[in-house]
Amino acid sequence: MQRVRSASSKQAARIRTSITSSEAALWGRLFDPVGPELSTGVARYILTLGFPQSDIDRMRDLAAKAREDTLTLEENIERDNYERVGHVLSIIKSKARKALKSVRNPPKSPV
């Protein structure tokens, strides 16, 4: 397996960051309720979502290898995939928390 070179790695990271931001923005808009908010049941379910322990362990291994600058190209792609999915999950959970907060504290109508 080939190692990612640092110069091309920095350039690739900038490109991936741009793509990730775009993907995250698209997912965020997808889950931005236009009409009724998420139901409380769906919002609560979304907040339970998370990576299984085996994936958490793998992410830790990849992070350690990244700090040591020993990631292969395939591992770097895998790390990027985890990062993108984690960002999307964070956005979706934020939307769920916002939906639950609006149920607890509905907006006050003007007097």
Residue 35 belongs to domain spanning? 9-104
87 within a domain of the structure (yes/no):
yes
Residue 20's pLDDT is 52
Using CB atoms within 10 A of its CB, is residue 43 exposed (0-12), middle (13-18) or buried (19+)?
buried
65 within a domain of the structure (yes/no):
yes
2 within a domain of the structure (yes/no):
no
pLDDT digits (tens, 9 = 90+) for 26-65: 776 676 655 557 789 999 999 999 999 999 999 999 999 9
Q: Per the confidence metrics, is the pTM higher than 0.75?
A: no
